[in-house]
């Protein structure tokens, strides 16, 4: 049974039983505490927790998920994958345990001919929470399982909670028995790989508090509305139904594995280590495909870093298989074809996906080449006397260049040298500890959204600001320091929830409005407006007069000047986007934006820097559109109708069934957008591009000033030009040439000064040779030269002195201060290196004293630091090392 067929049968089964079919949410989670959608229930958390009223009593979905916490286990076990699909059925206060168990047993054991999944009852086991007698009785009622195949387990495996105060409850898990050839008898209680968990039924029935750990908490009582959250692993069921050994061999994954094996000249199943690498490749390519399809692009932080890590592990695994060229152009189309049946977007957007993936591969292959050079240098050094490749070098390769330790070990082993695993392990642990501390700190900073649960239950906040800047409403709720209160007094910072508001909450790239909330006897300055949960607008205010109380009438007043600037910037963003596409082509898609009064920032898909001429052309087209006074029209319609009109949906963004379409000049700019806008393009005023930069291998960013801020910027630049023309006594038309001439004169003067300084230093060579001391059989020059123009001067002098000592074992270490920072240069003759003295070690030793780092080749190396006052101490430490 194909994976897509299991997917279809799941949704069909539950739709027929009254469940609303909910499309998969994006892999990019709306939950601010999560980087990705890590489980099928994540999109439903607001409903399951009661934070937001559920729009339907029961639902079902097949949700895309990404987890990378067990990334090192991928390929090693039958069921660890970074991308997976979770089939779920959910009840929000509707049905409970009985129906959840009945539905699960019915779908699993109904024959394939009758629309079920066709599992034999003899192959299934069930676990329940040890104290859940109700679940036991229901399994006995609805299934044909003998009692010995319903096992009671403890809280650590069969009790679900978020780890925070809130809903919790027992769960029941369903396992498939692969058979005696796969492991020991005894059922899931043995925790043996023979028993594969395929479905988990969570019964949310209790409210818990005082949560100390997964198993230590206080049950306050039963929830007023009991919920059901279940999850069946689609890949796990697929590999069982398809009769293959693991999830990497199912129809949606195996084609990539086979293509990778063909490229590398390997046979899957012939070698365990190669098999693991092939599985990693197949899994990570699919994950990369799906992440990019949901708008994630490679970067050095956040979600982009996770994607980058996945893609680089593919490249490294291909290299370990013996394939050193580019492979993504072969692998990604195969994954696209395997996944497009279930997710058509991967085919529709493949041009963008491919461009992002291929650019990352090209970049990393260059990085890999430089890392190989570092490793080969370390290996050569190890061969000449060191015991092993240093652990800090292995860590540098891992942390900076993306080398897994396995690659470093393999290359070192081929060269016949070891790697200092102990030091590498210590550095890795230090990094993990820092990451944990950072994650803990961030977790502590997250708001407890439970305070908004009751407020959201009062209804959705209505935004009236499209048509008016002031609106009279009513205070529904007040929050101070995370706690609901009945009154906020003068001087306090409070969060205010109103029934309606004319103040825009930050969203869609548009910053929140500024303004006031006023009422009988009080006034509050609006500091921020946000939507902490869907549908609820929260105003953060400082109470400046009187006190705000629950149920009081309150008028929202938008700062008209700020809103005008914000609408100018938001409409300006649409105009710049249209101009970019006109100049660069339809492949230039918006990939993120931010706008506020007087400023806009637009990220877009493009891999090359824009020339000055291109930037000028984009700026001119934008301002011509403003001069053309295009009408700006906003309409609300269904999402399908909007797309049929050609309205652009921003890549990776999520939209509901009803959307707002903004036209500027009709089809010239037509986008889905909920923000506030001007009524005609001339109201934008002026657009002045002030910068263009890279924000990733496939994304660029333009920034622009808008309206009065653009005018002020032009005025400031005009003033600078006037000052320069006056000071240099040249007309404006000759200013650029005059400045260039002055620059050339300055450069020539600096060159003469540098030559003079170098000659002056060279005169010290005889003096330094004369002052050389003998340490054993080695002539050693140790000198501090004070302030120098640049480290190059010290390097040149060290090489001259070394050349004069070339006929003997000689070591030269010269230090000085360049640009306020200490620098140490070490150089060795061939005879000194033969005796075991390496310049890199000396530079590193000196730099450590100076409060920095250093290194280099055995014959020449450089170190630096932060404390010039310790130069003499650094030279003394190097002398002690040489004497030792």
Q: What pLDDT, in 10s, does the model give residues 840-872?
A: 999 999 999 998 888 788 999 999 888 999 999
Residue 386: the pLDDT is 61
Mean pLDDT of 622-639: 95
Mean pLDDT of 727-755: 90
Beta bridge mates, 487: 549
The annotation status of 677 as a binding-site residue, yes or no, is yes
d(CA 418, CA 409): 7
User: Given a cut of 90, is residue 380 above it in pLDDT?
Assistant: no
The annotation status of 7 as a binding-site residue, yes or no, is no
Domains of the chain by start residue, with CATH: 3-247 (3.30.930.10), 252-443 (no CATH), 450-558 (2.40.30.130), 563-710 (3.30.980.10), 764-883 (3.10.310.40)
Mean pLDDT of 297-302: 83
Residue 587: the pLDDT is 80
Residue 440: the pLDDT is 52
Q: How many C-beta neighbours within 10 Å does residue 21 have?
A: 14
Residue 162: the pLDDT is 77
Among 207, 204, 206, which residue's Cα sits nearest to residue 228? 204
Residue 723: the pLDDT is 93
Mean pLDDT of 212-239: 91
Confidence class of residue 371 from pLDDT cuts 50, 70 and 90? Answer: confident
Token pair 């004319």 is at which residue? 502
Q: How far is CA 217 from CA 128, 131, 206, 685, in A?
A: 19, 16, 11, 60
Please state the pTM of the whole predicted model: 0.73
Token pair 């194909």 is at which residue? 2
The vertex-637 CA angle with 634 and 642, nearest 5°, equals 85
Confidence class of residue 696 from pLDDT cuts 50, 70 and 90? Answer: confident
d(CA 847, CA 859): 17
User: Given a cut of 50, is residue 836 above it in pLDDT?
Assistant: yes
Mean pLDDT of 558-579: 96
Residue 446: the pLDDT is 39
- The answer to whether 311 and 292 have CB atoms below 8 angstroms apart is no
Mean pLDDT of 433-443: 57
d(CA 495, CA 370): 53
Element (H, E) at 204: strand 195-209
User: Given a cut of 70, is residue 435 above it in pLDDT?
Assistant: no
Confidence class of residue 777 from pLDDT cuts 50, 70 and 90? Answer: confident
CA atoms 543, 547, 549, 551: torsion sign: negative
First to last CA, the chain: 72
Residue 443: the pLDDT is 44
Tokens of 855: 């290194």
User: Given a cut of 70, is residue 809 above it in pLDDT?
Assistant: yes
Confidence class of residue 820 from pLDDT cuts 50, 70 and 90? Answer: confident
For the chain, give the mean pLDDT.
Answer: 90
Mean pLDDT of 412-436: 79
Residue 444: the pLDDT is 41
DSSP class per residue in 346-391: HHHTHHHHHHHHHHHHHHHHHHHHHHHHHHHHHHHHHHTT-SEE-H
Q: pLDDT tens digit string along 140-172?
A: 999 999 999 999 999 999 999 877 788 899 999
d(CA 663, CA 634): 6
Residue 608: the pLDDT is 87
Residue 647: the pLDDT is 87
Tokens of 119: 């599992």
Strands (E), 210-285: 218-233
Residues ≥6 apart with Cβ < 8 Å to 745: none
Q: pLDDT tens digit string along 32-69?
A: 778 899 999 999 988 888 888 899 999 999 999 999 88
The annotation status of 570 as a binding-site residue, yes or no, is yes
- Residue with the bigger pLDDT between 825 and 401: it is 825
Residue 392: the pLDDT is 87
Residue 669: the pLDDT is 95
- The answer to whether 310 and 360 have CB atoms below 8 angstroms apart is no
d(CA 642, CA 653): 15
Confidence class of residue 753 from pLDDT cuts 50, 70 and 90? Answer: confident
The annotation status of 539 as a binding-site residue, yes or no, is no
- Residue with the bigger pLDDT between 264 and 776: it is 264
Q: pLDDT tens digit string along 572-594?
A: 999 999 999 999 998 888 888 99
Confidence class of residue 674 from pLDDT cuts 50, 70 and 90? Answer: very high
Confidence class of residue 447 from pLDDT cuts 50, 70 and 90? Answer: very low
User: Given a cut of 80, is residue 553 above it in pLDDT?
Assistant: yes
Token pair 């859940």 is at which residue? 132
Residue 685: the pLDDT is 95
Among 512, 477, 511, 514, which residue's Cα sits nearest to residue 494? 477
User: Given a cut of 70, is residue 404 above it in pLDDT?
Assistant: no
């Amino acid at each position: 049974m194909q994976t897509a067929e299991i997917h279809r049968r799941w949704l069909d089964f539950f739709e027929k039983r009254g469940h609303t079919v909910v499309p998969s949410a994006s892999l990019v989670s709306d939950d601010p505490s999560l980087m990705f959608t890590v489980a099928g229930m994540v999109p439903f958390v607001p409903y399951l927790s009661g934070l937001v009223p559920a729009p339907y009593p029961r639902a079902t979905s097949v949700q895309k998920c990404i987890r990378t916490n067990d990334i090192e286990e991928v390929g090693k076990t039958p069921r660890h994958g970074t991308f997976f699909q979770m089939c779920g059925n959910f009840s929000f206060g509707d049905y409970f345990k009985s129906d959840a168990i009945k539905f699960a047993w019915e779908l699993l054991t109904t024959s394939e001919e009758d629309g079920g999944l066709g599992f034999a009852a003899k192959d299934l086991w069930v676990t329940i929470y040890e104290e859940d007698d109700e679940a036991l009785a229901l399994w006995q009622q609805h299934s044909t399982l003998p009692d010995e195949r319903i096992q009671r387990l403890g809280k650590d495996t069969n009790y679900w909670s978020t780890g925070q105060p809130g809903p919790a409850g027992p769960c029941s898990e369903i396992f498939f028995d692969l058979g005696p050839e796969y492991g020991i008898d005894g059922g899931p209680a043995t925790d043996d790989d023979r028993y594969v968990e395929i479905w988990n039924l969570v019964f949310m029935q209790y409210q818990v508090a005082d949560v100390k750990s997964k198993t230590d908490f206080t049950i306050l009582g039963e929830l007023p509305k009991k919920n059901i959250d279940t999850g069946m692993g689609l890949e796990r069921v697929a590999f069982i139904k398809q009769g293959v050994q693991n999830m990497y061999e199912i129809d949606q994954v195996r084609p990539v594995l086979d293509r990778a094996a063909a490229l590398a000249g390997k046979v899957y199943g012939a070698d365990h280590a190669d098999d693991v690498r092939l599985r990693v490749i197949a899994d990570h390519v699919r994950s990369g495909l799906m992440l990019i399809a949901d708008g994630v692009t490679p970067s050095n932080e956040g979600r982009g870093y996770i994607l980058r890590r996945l893609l680089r592990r593919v490249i490294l695994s291909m290299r370990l298989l013996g394939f050193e060229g580019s492979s993504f152009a072969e692998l990604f189309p195969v994954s696209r074809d395997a996944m497009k049946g279930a997710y058509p977007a991967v085919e529709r957007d493949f041009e963008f996906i491919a461009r992002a993936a291929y650019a990352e591969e090209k970049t990393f292959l260059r990085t890999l080449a430089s890392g190989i050079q570092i490793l080969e240098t370390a290996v050569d050094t190890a061969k000449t006397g060191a015991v092993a490749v240093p652990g800090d070098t292995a860590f540098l390769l891992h942390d900076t260049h993306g080398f897994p330790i396995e690659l470093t070990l393999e290359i070192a082993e081929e060269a016949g040298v070891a790697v200092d695993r102990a030091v590498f392990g210590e550095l890795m642990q230090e990094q993990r500890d820092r990451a944990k501390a950072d994650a803990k700190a961030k977790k502590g900073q997250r708001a407890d959204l439970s305070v908004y649960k009751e407020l959201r239950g009062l209804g959705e906040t209505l935004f009236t600001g499209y048509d008016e800047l002031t609106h009279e409403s009513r205070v529904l709720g007040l929050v101070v320091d995370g706690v609901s209160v009945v009154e906020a007094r003068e001087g306090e910072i409070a969060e205010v929830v109103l029934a309606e508001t004319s103040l825009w909450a930050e969203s869609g790239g548009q910053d929140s409005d500024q303004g006031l909330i006023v009422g009988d006897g009080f006034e509050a300055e609006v500091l921020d407006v946000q939507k902490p949960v869907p549908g609820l607008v929260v105003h953060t205010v400082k109470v400046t007069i009187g006190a705000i109380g629950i149920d009081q009438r309150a008028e929202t007043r938008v700062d008209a000047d700020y809103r005008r600037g914000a609408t100018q910037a938001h409409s300006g963003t649409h105009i710049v986007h249209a101009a970019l596409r006109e100049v660069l082509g339809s492949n230039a898609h918006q990939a993120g934006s931010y706008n506020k009064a007087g400023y806009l920032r637009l990220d877009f898909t493009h891999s090359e820097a824009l020339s000055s001429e291109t930037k000028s052309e984009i700026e001119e087209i934008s301002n011509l559109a403003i001069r053309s006074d295009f009408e700006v029209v906003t309409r609300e319609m269904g999402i399908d109708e909007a797309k049929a009109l050609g309205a652009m949906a921003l890549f990776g963004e999520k939209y509901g069934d009803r959307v707002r379409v903004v036209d500027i000049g009709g089809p010239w700019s037509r986008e889905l957008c909920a923000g506030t806008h001007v009524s005609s393009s001339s109201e934008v005023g002026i657009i002045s591009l002030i910068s263009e930069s890279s924000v990733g291998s496939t994304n660029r960013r333009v920034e622009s000033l808008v309206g009065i801020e653009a005018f002020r910027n032009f005025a400031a630049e005009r003033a600078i030009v006037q000052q320069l023309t006056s000071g240099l006594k040249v007309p404006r038309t000759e200013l650029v040439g005059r400045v260039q001439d002055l620059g050339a004169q300055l450069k020539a003067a600096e060159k003469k000064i540098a030559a003079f300084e170098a000659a002056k230093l060279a005169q010290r060579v005889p003096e330094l040779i004369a002052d050389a001391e003998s340490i054993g059989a080695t002539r050693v020059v140790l000198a501090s030269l004070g302030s120098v123009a640049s480290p190059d001067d010290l390097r040149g002098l060290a090489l001259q002195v070394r050349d004069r000592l070339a006929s003997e074992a000689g070591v030269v270490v010269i230090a000085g201060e360049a640009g306020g920072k200490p620098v140490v240069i070490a150089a060795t003759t061939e005879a000194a290196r033969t005796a075991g003295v390496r310049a890199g070690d000396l530079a590193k030793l000196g730099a450590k004293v100076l409060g920095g780092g250093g290194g280099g080749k055995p014959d020449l190396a450089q170190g630096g630091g932060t404390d010039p006052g310790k130069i003499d101490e650094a030279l003394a430490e190097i002398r002690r090392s040489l004497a030792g």
